[in-house]
Chains A and B, each alone.
Chain A
């Protein structure tokens, strides 16, 4: 089913605080070469201690404004996060609404999803906008894992980085990305494998997460291509969630994809959860030869989603 809304431009916020992994890796008993070559993160971005999730969202929206978007025209704003301001009440999108002075006619709500959140979010926001007859919206991803990551947990602290994105959605222009079909699913049996534990700290069982992704995602992508009738060769880029360099490379091999079609951009950023895919989309924005991309998010839940975007 063709979705008539288009996406883009994308506002980006990357915190300026950079944590180098080399000194921390040795303290945590990890080999820096393993980290750089296999995990793929030389450094990670970290928000300031007093910076809230809503502040990150605000910064992404301000960046979107510099790309010519009038935020007063927004009818809908959705924030994808599982690390909301305070304890999640009120919803972070309401706080962003206030901080940005958005119009009262702008509907806001949060969606609780992690690494699959952006792909789910594109379908959710366009479906909602269509249902209420909205013209303009924005989908924000802001999920700072630094709020719950344990500084001595080498399985997570050297991987996850903070970032936020704000994707403009409209039915008012003839440019941007258009959603062409998608597949969405869950594997709730993996809900304990990536979660916040009783101490309110992030826990990740890397083996479980890898097994889920390696077993599930190739079939999802193959099925999506079959359902949409789009040949693998006609996809210009495969924008896979940047869980780690290792998982992206493993999926590339399992799907027999040309590595040059599968970008990896986490070297000096880290895994920014639901922001990894919009960051990849932003990276290719200037290359108009890229006309068709497959996006795929997967992780916490376990939850997974893949979709095809065509440049209009």
Chain B
């Protein structure tokens, strides 16, 4: 999956997890919680990643993932 495709997929998972999430204009550097995600949506988002990409992000790993860019870098490193 290319970086652009992965970003599109993550946006899709974010909207699935939180139908009211405003993904338009979201920058890679934006904190997802500041952008409107809450802790329940995050759990749902992580499940979508696990189910669709086969990558389970642990609670410890999640500590360092705040922005969409953080997720992109982490997931790309996992798929290499």
| Least CB separation from A211: chain B residue | B47
B51 within 8 A of A: yes
The 9 A-B pairs of least Cβ separation, nearest first, read: A207-B43, A246-B40, A210-B43, A38-B40, A211-B47, A34-B38, A214-B47, A250-B44, A38-B38
Contact across chains for B43 and A206 when beta carbons are under 8 A apart: yes
15 other A-B residue contacts (CB within 8 Å) besides A210-B43, A211-B50, A246-B40 = A34-B38, A38-B38, A38-B40, A39-B40, A207-B43, A207-B46, A207-B59, A210-B40, A210-B47, A211-B43, A211-B47, A214-B44, A214-B47, A215-B47, A215-B51
| Least CB separation from B16: chain A residue | A253
Interface of B is mostly: helix
A-B contact count (CB 8 A): 22
Which residues 182-216 in A have Cβ within 8 Å of B in the complex? 206-207, 210-211, 214-215
Question: What is the CB-to-nearest-CB distance from B34 to chain A, in angstroms, rounded to a whole number?
Answer: 14
B-chain residues with CB within 8 Å of residue A206 when the two chains form the complex: 40, 43
Binding site for B on A (CB under 8 A): 34, 38-39, 206-207, 210-211, 214-215, 246, 250
List 13 A–B pairs whose Cβ atoms lie within 8 Å, in order of A's numbering.
A34-B38, A38-B38, A39-B40, A206-B40, A206-B43, A210-B40, A211-B43, A211-B47, A211-B50, A215-B47, A215-B51, A246-B40, A250-B44
| Least CB separation from B56: chain A residue | A211
Question: What is the CB-to-nearest-CB distance from A9 to chain B, in angstroms, rounded to a whole number?
Answer: 36
Give the interface size class of chain B.
under 10
B-chain residues with CB within 8 Å of residue A250 when the two chains form the complex: 44
Most chain B CB within 10 A, of A207, A214, A215, is at A207
Q: A34-B38, A38-B38 are in contact. Are A210 and B51 (CB under 8 A)?
A: no
Most chain A CB within 10 A, of B43, B51, B59, is at B43
* CA–CA, A250 and B51, complex, Å: 15
Contact across chains for A210 and B38 when beta carbons are under 8 A apart: no
Most chain A CB within 10 A, of B38, B50, B51, is at B38
Which residues 30-76 in B have Cβ within 8 Å of A in the complex? 38, 40, 43-44, 46-47, 50-51, 59
Question: What is the CB-to-nearest-CB distance from A190 to chain B, in angstroms, rounded to a whole number?
Answer: 14
* CA–CA, A39 and B40, complex, Å: 9
Question: What is the CB-to-nearest-CB distance from A245 to chain B, in angstroms, rounded to a whole number?
Answer: 10
A-chain residues with CB within 8 Å of residue B50 when the two chains form the complex: 211
* CA–CA, A214 and B43, complex, Å: 11
* CA–CA, A124 and B69, complex, Å: 52
| Least CB separation from B19: chain A residue | A253
B-chain residues with CB within 8 Å of residue A39 when the two chains form the complex: 40
Most chain A CB within 10 A, of B44, B46, B59, is at B44
Most chain A CB within 10 A, of B38, B40, B59, is at B40
* CA–CA, A34 and B51, complex, Å: 26
Question: What is the CB-to-nearest-CB distance from A259 to chain B, in angstroms, rounded to a whole number?
Answer: 12
Question: What is the CB-to-nearest-CB distance from B44 to chain A, in angstroms, rounded to a whole number?
Answer: 6
Question: What is the CB-to-nearest-CB distance from A39 to chain B, in angstroms, rounded to a whole number?
Answer: 8
Question: What is the CB-to-nearest-CB distance from B39 to chain A, in angstroms, rounded to a whole number?
Answer: 8
| Least CB separation from B48: chain A residue | A214
* CA–CA, A262 and B46, complex, Å: 25
A-chain residues with CB within 8 Å of residue B44 when the two chains form the complex: 210, 214, 250
B-chain residues with CB within 8 Å of residue A214 when the two chains form the complex: 44, 47
A-chain residues with CB within 8 Å of residue B40 when the two chains form the complex: 38-39, 206, 210, 246
| Least CB separation from A254: chain B residue | B16
Question: What is the CB-to-nearest-CB distance from B14 to chain A, in angstroms, rounded to a whole number?
Answer: 14
